[in-house]
Amino acid sequence: MADSAVHHDEPRPRFPLWSFREDVYLETIDPPGETVVVHSRWEDTTLPRPRPAVLEAMRRMSLGPISLDNVIRDDTDRRQLARLLDRVPHLVVRSFGVDREQPLVSVVPLTPQARFRLPTGPLTEPVRLSRFALIRSDGNSFVVESPLSLHRVILHRPEAMAQLGPLMRPVDPARVAPATLVLIHHLMAAGMVVEAASSDAFRPAEFAEDSDPVLATWRPVDLMFHTRSTLGRHDHDFGATYPAGERGNVEPTVKPPLTRHPIRLARPKWDDLVADDTPLTVAIEASQSYRHYATEPVTVDQLGELLYRTARVRSLGRNANEPGGAPEEPAASDRPYLAGGESYELEVYLTVDRCAGLTRGVYHYDPLAHALEPIEVRSADVDELLGTARVAANLSTSPPSLLTITARFRRLSWKYDGLSYSLVLKNVGALTQTLTLVATAMGLGTCRLDSGDVETSPRVFGLDWRAESTVGEFVVGHPAHRPEEPVPGRRPVNDADWPARARTGLL
């Protein structure tokens, strides 16, 4: 085993400690001592006939970090333990401590592919903490994680954090204290510390991760979000785990009414739509983002039709994918766009600058009553919302109307672990695509905003941004009829004339 206790050529702390992951437990199979089964979250591994001291060492490892020297004193036992642990390297936690009782630092494998190998020779180049390593507190210890690593490093005691300090910038490993060097070795084995590819007394140290063209465009938080909202590179709970409990306090299916006097919106007629609506192919080919809008206002009936066809509640009930639903799960709903889990956490707020039949101001869309609920705001707040959107979308004028999409996060996070926020973003994409196609079919112009203000909008709408916040924005209006400017250097392929043909007579 390349990283076992029997290899003495690797840097050894004074008190190396060994254990299994906390979710591992051992089971001996009759007849006693013949085999032992190592149960883990990933698989059950049957190991053959361990010697008594080896079995005792493994049993103690399943209870917490131990010094193997307290149990294993025979070279034959050491070799057998090494062979057995080589079968389950992804279940072994490597720690070291300042004494035999308390670990200072632990390196926990996160996936079946995780392998821990301490450096076997002296470090000759400067080292530093990887720029992708993220440090947080779990309320009891400091935790170091990286989207590039298949391990988690736990700093159990404050002095470990102090030893981490020098690694904020490149440091010569020959100049650090022995205790810090042990920490560096463990962090390197975990992928949290990187060694310079080259160094020069007259030039800054160069690290491969800084010049890697694949990593150059990733921000650490973005890459971490990607790896933690998908499977494969972590060991967190994931999926419909009900992290708040099945009786948790969750958001209602539809927000309670905000006013006793909503503005009822017109409802389009099915027969009229079936007879006169724009074909889907035309809507797809004609859709585009508009930066210029006519002074002609949209009408309240147009906005009502758009919202009815894209965001209304069509039915209420339990989740169709889970017959009966959990005992206390809130009712699901059905709406014109598809949403993960049928939770439909998205809300739509309307900020109006110019709309025939509707006063300039801010409104919340009630998808169950198909009505607008006026929100009392200052004129300056309306100006701020519209002005921010104008700059974000690079519009030539103020948006005629602005749809702000918010998410009531607990509608998803109550049920899902790990992927709840990624579902929010996917649902926003589904809603904005539906809005785009329907608006195009109606002869309206749209522009999706790819950034949102999570401070201004919740404040104006009277929301706690931690519970409900902006996740998307969408401009709707009549497009100004300006000739399209050709994109320099673009050559037509695959029926490039279809969009122009689709827009002819549509707008």
Residue-wise pLDDT for 45-61, tens only, equals: 999 888 999 999 999 99
- Percent share of the chain, pLDDT over 90: 76
Going by C-alpha positions, the residue among 13, 26, 108, 99 that lies closest to residue 61 is 26
Instruction: Specify the pLDDT at position 10.
Output: 46
pLDDT at residue 133 tops 80: yes
Kindly indicate the confidence band of residue 11, based on its pLDDT and cuts at 50, 70 and 90: very low
Helix (H, G, I), strand (E, B) or coil at 37: strand
Cβ atoms of 290 and 447 within 8 Å: the answer is yes
Helix (H, G, I), strand (E, B) or coil at 42: coil
Candidate ranges 68-72, 113-117, 486-490; pick with highest mean pLDDT:
113-117
Cβ atoms of 19 and 95 within 8 Å: the answer is yes
pLDDT in tens, 273-331: 999 999 999 999 999 999 999 999 999 999 999 999 999 999 988 654 444 445 455 57
Cis amide linkage into residue 399, ω under 30° from 0: no
pLDDT in tens, 162-178: 999 999 999 999 999 88
Instruction: Specify the pLDDT at position 49.
Output: 82
Mean pLDDT of 144-148: 98
Candidate ranges 12-21, 58-67, 170-179; pick with highest mean pLDDT:
58-67
Mean pLDDT of 470-490: 83
Q: What is d(CA 125, CA 143) in angstroms, rounded to the nearest whole number?
A: 26
Query: From the CB of residue 410, how many other CB atoms can be counted at a distance below 10 Å?
Result: 20
Q: Please report, for residues 290, 344, 386, 449, the alpha-carbon distance to residue 453 in angstroms, rounded to integers and kept in the order given.
A: 21, 21, 12, 11
Instruction: Specify the pLDDT at position 377.
Output: 96
Kindly indicate the confidence band of residue 482, based on its pLDDT and cuts at 50, 70 and 90: low
Mean residue pLDDT of the chain comes to 90
Cβ atoms of 77 and 53 within 8 Å: the answer is yes
> pTM of the entire structure?
0.88
According to DSSP H, which parts of 149-202 are helical? 158-164, 178-189
Q: What is d(CA 384, CA 363) in angstroms, rounded to the nearest whole number?
A: 15
Mean pLDDT of 369-393: 95
The domain limits of the chain are 15-228, 241-480+492-503
Pairing mode, if any, of strands 361-366 and 44-48? unpaired
Phi and psi at residue 376, to the nearest 5°: -75, 115
SS (H, E, C) 336-398: CCCCHHHCCCEEEEEEECCEECECCEEEEEECCCCEEEEECCCHHHHHHHHHHHHHHHCCCCC
CATH T-level topology, domain 241-480+492-503: NADH Oxidase (3.40.109)
